[in-house]
Amino acid sequence: MSAGIESIVVLTGAGISAESGIDTFRDAGGLWEQHSIYDVATPEGFARDPDLVLRFYDERRAGLARVEPNAAHIALARLEAEFAGELLLVTQNVDDLHERGGSRNVCHMHGELKSALCTSCGTRSRWETTMIDRPACPVCRAPTLRPDVVWFGEMPYQMQRIEEALARCDLFVSVGTSGAVYPAAGFVAQAKAMGAQTLELNLEPSEGTAIFHEARHGPASQLVPEWTRALLNVS
Ligand code: BJW
C-alpha cells in the first residue's frame, strides 16, 4: 500500500494512547463506564454541574504528567519527519502524547486538555493547571474558563482543513478509534469516495471496519510502527 502515495491523512483515537495508560471511552472499564457522557461531555452537563465537569477535566489534565508517548506516537512522528509527501495527522484525542512523541503538526479536532476556552471573550489559552478554582481568563480577566474540548453537539475544530485534506489524500489511515463518533467516523467514507485507499489499524474491528479497503487488528504500538516502517521502506 505504499506505491504512488503522495498525500496521507492519519486519524487517531483513544486506542493509540491506551498503551500509554490513558483510558479509552468505550472499552470495558473506559471513561464512559465511569461517568455519564451527558454529565461530563455536553454543554448541558456543564451548565448543570460545572464543578463536576471541571474536576473531571482537571483530573485528566493532571494525569498527563503520569504518562508517556508509546511506540505508535513515536512512529507517527518519524513518519512526519521522513515522509516526502504531505501528511495530516488528525487526532480526536485531547492528550498531548503526539506532540511529546515528536509530532510537530497535529490537528486536535476535539480540542486539548492543556487549553482553556473563555466563555466570555472566546480566547483559547494554553492551560497547565486547574480550573475548579475559577481562575481568571489571561485576556479578559473574567473567571469564566472551561476546558477547550469539543463536547457532543459542538462543532469540531479545523473541519475545513480536514475535509480539504481528505479530498486530496491518496491514503487514509485510522488508528485506535471505535468509529462511533461523527464527523470523524465518516472520514473513511469521505476519503474513499474521493479515490483514497483506506486502512484501519485497531485492536478489534471498529464500527466502520467493513468500509475500509484493509483492516489490521492488534495493538497500535505494534501495528503503527510496522506500517510506517513499510511505508518509509526502512527497518
Ligand atoms: C486500541 C487499543 C490499542 C483500544 N491499540 N486500538 C451522524 C449520525 C449520528 C449522530 C451524529 C452524526 N453526526 C454528528 C452526530 C452527533 C454526535 C455523534 O457522533 N454522536 C454519536 C454518539 C452517534 N457528534 C457530535 O456531536 C460532534 N459534533 C458535531 O457533529 O457537530 C456538527 C457538525 C456538523 C457538520 C460537520 C461537522 C460537525 C462532536 C463530537 C464530540 C466528541 N467529543 C468526545 C469528548 C472530547 C473531550 C474528551 O476527551 O473528554 O470526543 S466524546 C469521545 O469520543 C471523545 C473521543 O475523541 C471520541 C471518539 O472516541 P474514540 O477515540 O474512538 O475512543 P473509543 O473509546 O470509542 O474507541 C477506542 C478504540 O480503540 C476501540 O475501538 C478499541 O478497540 C481501540 N483500542 N486499545 C489499538 N492498544
Domain containing residue 35: CATH number:
3.30.1600.10
User: Is residue 97 domain-shared with residue 36, that is, in the same domain?
Assistant: no
Regarding whether 29 and 52 lie in a shared domain, the answer is yes
Place of cell 492543556: 114
Enclosing domain of residue 77? 1-22+69-110+156-235
Under a CB-based contact definition with an 8 Å cutoff, are residues 199 and 40 in contact? no
Q: Answer whether 0.85 is exceeded by the pTM.
A: yes
1 pLDDT above the threshold of 70: no
pLDDT digits (tens, 9 = 90+) for 124-168: 999 999 999 999 999 999 999 999 999 999 999 999 999 999 999
- Could you list the beta-strand ranges (E) of 21-138: 86-91, 106-108, 111-118, 124-126
Check residue 3 and give its pLDDT: 65
Side chain identity at 173, as an amino acid letter? V
- Residue 234 is predicted with a pLDDT of 87
CATH of the domain at 190: 3.40.50.1220
Cell of 98: 503526539
Q: Which residue is catalytic, options 35, 73, 110, 217?
A: 110
Same structural domain, 30 and 12: no
pLDDT above 80 (res 86): yes
**Known catalytic residue: 98?**
no
The mean pLDDT of the chain is 97
Q: Tell me how many helices (H) and strands (E) the chain has.
A: 10, 9
Do residues 87 and 120 share a domain?
Answer: no
Distance CA 78, CA 85 (A): 13
Is ligand 1 within 6 A of the CB of residue 181?
yes
CB of 64 closer than 6 angstroms to any ligand 1 atom: no
